[in-house]
Amino acid sequence: MIVDYLKLIGFWAASVVAGLLLSVAFNPFAFVTVAVLSAIMLSAGLLSAILIVALKPLLVRYALARPNARSSHTIPTPQGGGIAVVGAVLVTMALAFSVLGLPEHFFKAFVILAGASMFLAIVGAVDDIRPLPAGLRLVLQVAAVAAVVVTSGLRILPDVVPLAVEQAILILGGVWFVNLVNFMDGLDWITVAEMVPVTAAIAVLGPAAGLPMSILVTFVALALCGALLGFAPFNKPVARLFLGDVGSLPIGLLVGWMLLQLAGTGTIAAALLLPLYYLTDATVTLLRRLARGEKVWEAHRTHFYQKATDNGFSALAVSAHVFGLNLALAGLAAMTLVWRSAAVQAAALAAGLALVILVLRLFSRPRSKVVR
């Protein structure tokens, strides 16, 4: 455990020093900006780890996930680490607002986002302890997503569909995204491998895309990235702690809100490319289950990442493939911001989908021995 923390702190320190040196070399005024951004990420990470250490005895006692036929773990493991992750994000952002004095409209937008995230965290916490009926969960998720979508005022296709129709589509898509993040959080480190590259890419690409609230999006992205890194040592294979629905649901909402902000600038290709692995794995799996007449709201082990572990991949190997794939998808997303022609957007999406399909096919093939 101590070695894990030292490695994590060393990585953060090296990243911060490198960023500061580069920023000063090219623009001395960027020193303060890089220092602030690094402080947000580091603070969220340390706070997340501290909260986990403090809360873990309670989680072991009241939120123990016991293995079943659909589980990827074999021994009882506490869940609920998402309390620390989401809590660290919200506390770090509250401190950022109080110290930096961000504009009032940023504060109003964040209050709505934070309120909806806390609401979903409560729903997830209850569901972790005593599962809620699927219909009730769906209604509560729709309410949280609708609050964020309607108050954002963003239009993705203003010249194609009326406002009411577009908002209904965005709410439906947001609820699906919240749920698919929850569905995909079924293997040690997979959420870290997915969301750390995605949030880091959003923090970098947001200002380049010209987001109206790029500062707020960057701050939230770095806070979530740091909080997940603080959670990572506890969730590394073999995990000693899971996020639980209390973490995966609000994380899905937070990342969905960031992607909505990105898509709202017209960079829809980038907003699709960043989460493309999760979108494809979860959607293809859902359609297959619907075709087989299965109850799609029930737990299962038919996602591609779950098949990979059945086919001989270790949890670490699966997460490594997902992490590498997401780095490539982030590169393609960046390309769509540099060259904004329709041809480049289509080519980047096609290339991203081809990479995702390649990984999914790899996960579907049996292995003769465990990949380490």
Q: Is residue 342 part of a domain?
A: no
Q: Would you state the pLDDT for residue 372?
A: 46
133-156: pLDDT as tens digits: 989 999 999 999 999 999 988 888
Residue 159: which domain range? 2-267
Q: Is residue 281 part of a domain?
A: no
Q: Does 182 carry a binding-site annotation?
A: yes
**Structural domain total, the chain:** 1
Q: Is residue 283 part of a domain?
A: no
Q: Is residue 64 part of a domain?
A: yes
Q: Is residue 91 part of a domain?
A: yes
Q: Does 281 carry a binding-site annotation?
A: no
Q: Is residue 72 part of a domain?
A: yes
74 vs 223, residue with greater confidence: 223
Q: Would you state the pLDDT for residue 72?
A: 60
Burial 346-370 (b: 16+ CB within 10 A, else e): ebbbebbbebbeebbebbeeeeeee
- pLDDT bucket at 1, cuts 50 / 70 / 90: very low
Are the beta carbons of 55 and 84 closer than 8 angstroms?
A: yes
254-309: pLDDT as tens digits: 999 999 999 988 889 999 999 999 999 999 999 999 888 887 777 778 899 999 99
Name the percent of the chain lying above pLDDT 90: 65
Q: Would you state the pLDDT for residue 35?
A: 76
Q: Is residue 277 part of a domain?
A: no
Q: Is residue 19 part of a domain?
A: yes
Long-range contacts of 302-306 (CB under 8 A, 24+ apart): 303/183, 303/184, 303/186, 304/359, 304/360, 304/363, 304/364, 305/184, 305/186, 305/187, 305/190, 305/281, 305/363, 306/72, 306/186, 306/187
66-83: pLDDT as tens digits: 765 555 656 788 999 999
Q: Would you state the pLDDT for residue 140?
A: 97
